[in-house]
């Protein structure tokens, strides 16, 4: 199933066949058909986002889940998972916005108008409050954040691009030669998924 340009898997065994399809001829280099000895894999995890501004803290239940994963790996497979903390994760929003900028490319407002004009995010936000906007809240807020953030080529933009490059280098140093035998487990969401009966 494809949703919002991300591929969702219901079962882990679906991962390899889908990756083969997506990667085409390059799939041979991924060694997807090789058996993996889990004891030869190095495991790392980060159980927090390093304190992002305007972001809720990670729920205790999610943090406990990371500890359970680490305990299970140690008990079942004698694997010691290493906890890491990359502080640059706290800047992930600004890093993303800065690195999405281009000198002549369309803005997110233009993208939401299907490149046929532009939308007014303030007007769309007002319409959204009354359930009349065809755009999501996060889409509208992305327009506003993009508009209020750094400009392509300015000092803040250059700083955030340098930070992104340094962050990439840090992660590359972690992966290093172990790119095919290392797992880095990260947060996908700050809170547990609500149940069907739970009031939002």
Give the pLDDT confidence score for residue 189 in this predicted structure.
67
pTM of structure:
0.69
- Burial classification of residue 155, based on how many CB atoms lie within 10 Å of its CB (0-12 exposed, 13-18 middle, 19 or more buried): exposed
Q: What is the pLDDT of residue 118?
A: 95
CA-CA distances (angstroms) from residue 33 to 12, 16, 17, 19, 29?
14, 8, 10, 11, 10
Q: Residue 103 burial by CB count (10 A; 0-12/13-18/19+): exposed, middle or buried?
A: exposed
Looking at residue 25, its pLDDT comes to: 86
Asked whether the beta carbons of 46 and 85 are under 8 A apart, the reply is yes
- Asked whether the CA dihedral 99, 167, 43, 49 is positive or negative, the reply is negative
Domain positions in the chain: 1-34, 37-90+154-200, 102-149
Residue-level pLDDT, tens digit, the chain, 200 residues: 333 445 667 777 888 888 888 888 888 887 888 888 888 888 888 887 777 766 677 888 888 988 999 999 999 999 999 898 888 888 888 888 898 888 888 889 999 999 999 999 999 999 999 999 999 998 999 999 888 888 888 999 999 999 999 999 998 888 776 666 778 887 766 666 666 555 54
Q: In the prediction, which pLDDT does 1 show?
A: 36
Tokens at 73, concatenated: 């790996």
What pLDDT, on a 0 to 100 scale, did the predictor assign at position 125?
96
């Amino acid at each position: 199933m494809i949703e919002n340009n991300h591929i969702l898997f219901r079962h882990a065994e679906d991962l390899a066949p889908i990756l083969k399809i997506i990667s085409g001829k390059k799939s041979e280099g991924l060694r997807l058909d090789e058996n993996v000895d889990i004891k030869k894999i190095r495991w790392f995890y980060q159980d927090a986002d390093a304190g992002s501004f305007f972001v809720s803290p990670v729920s205790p239940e999610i943090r406990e889940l990371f500890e359970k994963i680490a305990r299970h790996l140690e008990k079942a497979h004698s694997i010691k998972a290493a906890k890491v903390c990359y502080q640059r994760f706290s800047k992930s929003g600004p890093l993303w916005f800065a690195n999405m900028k281009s000198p002549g490319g369309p803005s997110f407002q233009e993208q939401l108008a299907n490149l046929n004009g532009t939308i007014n995010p303030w007007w769309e936000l007002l319409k959204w409050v009354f359930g009349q906007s065809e755009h999501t809240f996060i889409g509208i807020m992305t327009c506003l954040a993009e508009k209020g953030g750094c400009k392509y080529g300015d000092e803040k933009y250059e700083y955030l691009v340098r930070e992104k490059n340094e962050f990439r280098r840090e992660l590359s140093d972690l992966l290093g030669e172990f790119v095919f035998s290392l797992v880095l487990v990260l947060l996908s969401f700050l809170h547990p998924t609500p149940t069907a009966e739970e009031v939002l």
